Amino acid sequence: MTSLQWGGRFTSAPDASLLAFGSSLVDDLVLAAFDVLTSHAHVDALAGGGIIDTTRAAALHAAIARVGQEIENGQFAAYAQSSGAEDVHGAIDARVRELEPEHGAFLHAGRSRNDQVATTLALYARARAEDAAARCRSIARSLLERASNELEAGTRLCATTHWQPAQPVLLAFWLVAAAEPFARGAKRFSAAAESASECCPLGSSALAGSSLPLDRQAAATRLEFARPSRNAMDAVGTRDAALDVAHAYVRACVDASRIAEELVIWATPAFGYVKLGDASSTGSSLMPQKRNPDIFELTRGVASAQIGTYAGALSSLTGMALSYHRDLQETKRQIVDGIERAARALAAFERALADTTFVRDACNAHAADGYAVATDMADALIAQGTSARDAHAQIGALVRRAEEAGEPLDLSARASVEGKVTYGSTSPAAVRAAIASLVDELESFDKLRMTRS
């Protein structure tokens, strides 16, 4: 039982199968590097409170740094899985004791796994939120760059509602519409990262604080939290910061899924608006002609799964009393699994998006399909003094006659998009202004982030 962090009051070893059932070690490995940061901070708290001297603090920092190197080079995972520890936090503690037999046993003074896990998970959530904010900004910028190119080309397409022809728009207008949610997503992730940095649970101990004079401010400062947590019982039992990040990932995956859905359909021969690149497509083991949009389909699937995973993490908290309960191990697993899967999905979506090209001729050729310019013709009558109801009826009848005759309406898609006059519309001027505004917003966001850091 030397690998366990408890056992003094027990007369026999725990049942191996039950210990394995309770282990979260495999799920926790992704948190290992963040636990190292937490352990360094705890040493600062011990030293700052005069609980350990500078010699012991230096020895512990050196051993923890060695574990950090082993995590970085991939050696630690094998050690952890063979250590018999219940979780990665216990495995790191055991390794520190191996590396530093004289001083290692002092590392856990005044610390419970309750505050250790809460702090490590907050650090993990903050890092993943910052990564995702950067990912969202990158996706938004890529879409805006394409929007600028398509604006210059004047590419038009038939936008739909209910998947039926609605009105002609510039392809650049659609691309800006696709970029907007990712700009909002970047803000959402940044807010989640800021929330995760608000208060440091470390030093809360099991639930009541510690009788040892831990320097909690030193720990909070090292880990770049705004302050130590105010209430130990709340600090060890809340998972709000991590849930905020998990929620932001769900929203980003849903945003990506909506775009993926459109691209999947546009890639079919019935539309032919986009061409999928070889690097991001797959074929069929039976049908030689197939080019399948697997990455975009998986993006949809992951988004759906993330909703369930997030709901599961949230549901695991219902009926749970304050402070720490082992149910939170399931909450942690669902949060971490969800975030890791979502992060991979967003990265794959971004790469597949970059590998997709728009077929301008196909987009332009169908921009006025389905009598999509009818609304513009009704608007023209209204501008001349006809009531909206009468204009709708007159153009509706005109569409019926044109449809029966198999003839188009006498208005081009180009005239339709160029005729828009409202702010935020699909007119070239409005789209150009929207691109510039969103680019400025993203740049301001970067400047603000650099100022804060």
Catalytic residue numbers? 162, 284
Question: How far, in Å, CA of 229 to CA of 199, rounded?
Answer: 5
Handedness of CA 336, 341, 345, 351 (dihedral sign): positive
Residue 194, number of CB atoms within 10 A of its CB: 16
In 3D, which of 180, 181, 178, 185 has the Cα closest to residue 358?
178
CA–CA distance, 343 with 355 (Å, rounded to integer): 19
Query: Could you tell me if 4 and 85 are in contact, meaning their C-beta atoms sit under 8 angstroms apart?
Result: yes
- 332 near 238, Cβ under 8 Å? no
Structure tokens at 338: 């969800």
Q: Which tokens go with 252?
A: 């980003």
| Crossing angle (nearest 10°) for helices 113-153 and 240-266 | 30
- From 204, 200, 207, select the one nearest 241 (Cα to Cα): 200
Question: Which residues contact residue 158 at a Cβ distance below 8 angstroms, ignoring those fewer than 6 apart?
Answer: 165, 166, 167, 168, 169, 366, 367, 368, 369, 370, 372, 413
CA–CA separation, 43 vs 112, rounded Å? 14
Q: Give the β-pairing of 274-276 and 356-358.
A: antiparallel
Q: Is 188 in contact with 132 (CB distance < 8 Å)?
A: no
φ, ψ for residue 355 (rounded to 5)?
A: -95, 5
Taking the C-alpha atoms of residue 44 and residue 65, their distance in angstroms, rounded to an integer, is: 14
CA distances from 104 to 53, 101, 221 (A): 13, 6, 23
